[in-house]
Amino acid sequence: MQNKISIQANLGNVQYRTALSNGKHTLLADEPESEGGLATGPTPDELLAMALAACTSITLRMYSQRKNWDLGEIAVAVDMQRREDGSAVFERKITFEKKPDAATCERLMIVADKCPVHKTLSHVNTIISSLQTAL
């Protein structure tokens, strides 16, 4: 396996508010008030959609810089909708401040699909879980 990422999630005594940490950065996840949470952070699904949007914009910036293409600001909007079977549909809209020509746009769409989060979401994944007896 490559690029192992380790995340720690701790849910204390405040309903659904969960502190997430990678050892360097900490952020909160929560559920909306309508679901019994306090809305102190994005929901887990929102974090997933945010990861796709961030990865897409970063991948496009890295590629455009290597090609010396000035795209200006890159905006990525992601709408996520869960299906009844548990799968999800992600609608991703990419906008460049400085619109490239048609051939460049076509290449950038191919590059967007190569962002690591897109590739992960597009494949069958494996989750291996274990239960630890104490913190």
Judge if 118 and 62 occupy the same domain.
yes
| Residue-level pLDDT at 3 | 82
Which two tokens mark 127?
A: 């989750």
Whether the predicted pLDDT of 2 surpasses 90: no
Question: How many domains is the chain partitioned into structurally?
Answer: 2
Residue 17 lies in a domain: yes
Q: 55 with 109, same domain?
A: yes
Burial category of 64 from C-beta neighbours within 10 Å (exposed 0-12, middle 13-18, buried 19 and up): buried
CATH code, 92: 3.30.300.20
Q: Where in the sequence is the domain holding 62, given as residue range(s)?
A: 43-124
Determine, yes or no, domain membership for 133: no
- In a shared domain, residues 14 and 53: no
Q: Are residues 68 and 88 in the same domain?
A: yes
User: Mapped to the 3 state alphabet, what secondary structure does 47-78 carry?
Assistant: HHHHHHHHHHHHHHHHHHHHCCCCCCCEEEEE
Average pLDDT over residues 117-127: 94
Residue 60 predicted with pLDDT over 80 = yes
The answer to whether residue 130 sits within a structural domain is no
Residue 86, both tokens = 């548990």
Mean pLDDT of the chain: 95
The span from the CA of 122 to the CA of 94, in Å, is 18
Does 50 share its domain with 35?
Answer: no
Which of residues 3 and 86 earns the better pLDDT score? 86
**What average pLDDT does the segment 65-94 reach?**
96
